[in-house]
Amino acid sequence: MKKYGAVLFCMLLFVVQDAGAQKRPTAIELEKGKTLAKKCIDCHNSSTTALADPLKGIRKIRTANYIYNLMKNPMGFADENKTAKKVFAKRGLQMPPFPNLSKDDIKAILDYFDSIPNKKN
């Protein structure tokens, strides 16, 4: 009986790990993200001289819901969210809203930024 319990535990662990894994974006999805990101790149490029924080890797520090709400209505979201308010205060800039972007559009943009290789010094 213990043998079957261990096997069942291993199978369950594998299923849970696989469910949490993110699939890699396709070339088509990355191209969509690149096209949509043209409005973002001027402020959110990956250099340290960017007007706003780089978007590459942003999902490691912000939730999907935070990013979605921020991109749809940045200043309205900042009025409700202390962290967002601090981010805008740090830069002293206002971000334009993008109310027409869907969650899939935003995911494509972030996938594109994450696909950009790190620059070597």
Residue 78 lies in a domain: yes
In a domain, 79, yes or no: yes
Per the structure, how many domains does the chain have? 1
Please indicate, yes or no, if residue 13 is contained in any of the structural domains: no
pTM of the model: 0.74
CATH number at residue 111: 1.10.760.10
Residuewise pLDDT in 10s, the chain (121 residues) = 555 544 444 444 444 444 445 689 999 999 999 999 998 988 887 666 668 888 888 999 999 999 999 999 999 999 999 999 998 888 787 889 999 999 999 999 999 999 988 776 5
DSSP string, 10-62: HHHHHHHHHHHPPPPPPHHHHHHHHHHGGGTHHHH-SSTT-SS---TTGGGTS
Cα dihedral 6, 9, 14, 17 sign: negative
Q: Of 111, 87, 95, which is closest to residue 32 (Cα–Cα)? A: 111
